[in-house]
Amino acid sequence: MSPAGALRILIADDEPDLRRSLERSFMLEGHEVVAVADGRAAIDRASTERFDIALLDVALGSSPDGYEVCRTLRSRRNFVPIIMLTALDSEADTVLGLEAGADDYVAKPVGLAELRSRIRAVLRRAGPRTLGEEVLSFGPLTLDRQQHELRLDGRPVRLTFAQFQVLDALISAPGRLFSREELLRAIWGDSAYRDPRAIDVHIRHLREKIEERPEEPSLIVTVRGAGYRLGPS
């Protein structure tokens, strides 16, 4: 029997030493780990099995790479939390990962302590809320924290972990201006080591899902140079 709190973790990385090191470390902590070396195997396993979290290397050495794995899973409505592992630490590479649907990213060489912290943050924030209102509404939006579900005019809208957390913060205080740093803390509990501009990517994806005209948003409003708020401009 797995110990309490044990996770099923999918690791996709084509570096044998790192893959085995992560697999061994997590298994010693009592977690169940599936470790694969290529993107196709990652897609196959994630499409047929349940995982609590997936750790995807960006550069898997062959097609599909980590970005494509992420995009494929999201297109199949698989919303397992995904953390990208990348040796590419530029802003453009970070944005590509978030555009693909990843929830967080960690630059290599990765420290196990930091990776554990990121995993805990994803799972803590993705879990059900125990305090405050469980169902929040604004205009056509109804957000159910317990079920981790958003409805737009009664129709379900699937959000990634990070998108849900951003909208949760905004809908909890309509009209309040949130800076990018505040929204990062709403997702992760802190904003350290995370690019505030990543919030712009999540906001753009949210608008594509909930705005009638994303190019002229009426729900999530940009306050230039300051941040975002939920409410009319």
Are 166 and 204 in a shared domain?
A: yes
Burial of 100 (C-beta count, 10 Å sphere; 0-12/13-18/19+): buried
Are 68 and 159 in a shared domain?
A: no
List residues bridging with 199 in a β-sheet. none
Are 98 and 144 in a shared domain?
A: no
The segments of the chain whose pLDDT lies below 70 read: 1-4, 88-95, 124-133, 188-194, 233
Q: Which of 101, 126, 151 is the last residue of a domain?
A: 126
Are 99 and 176 in a shared domain?
A: no
- Do the domain assignments include residue 1? no
Q: Which of 126, 145, 163 is the last residue of a domain?
A: 126
- Do the domain assignments include residue 81? yes
Are 213 and 193 in a shared domain?
A: yes
Name the domain count of the chain. Answer: 2
- Do the domain assignments include residue 3? no
Condensed to tens digits (0 to 9), the pLDDT of residues 68-77 reads 999 899 888 7
- Do the domain assignments include residue 18? yes
Q: What is the domain-level CATH number for residue 188?
A: 1.10.10.10
Specify the pLDDT at position 88. Answer: 66
Are 100 and 139 in a shared domain?
A: no
Are 108 and 182 in a shared domain?
A: no
| Boundaries of domain holding 93 | 8-126
Specify the pLDDT at position 198. Answer: 82
- Do the domain assignments include residue 100? yes
Are 75 and 182 in a shared domain?
A: no
Are 120 and 145 in a shared domain?
A: no
- Do the domain assignments include residue 2? no
- Do the domain assignments include residue 146? yes
Are 96 and 36 in a shared domain?
A: yes
Q: Which of 126, 158, 189 is the last residue of a domain?
A: 126
Are 98 and 180 in a shared domain?
A: no
Condensed to tens digits (0 to 9), the pLDDT of residues 58-116 reads 888 777 999 999 989 988 878 788 998 887 665 566 667 777 888 888 888 878 888 88
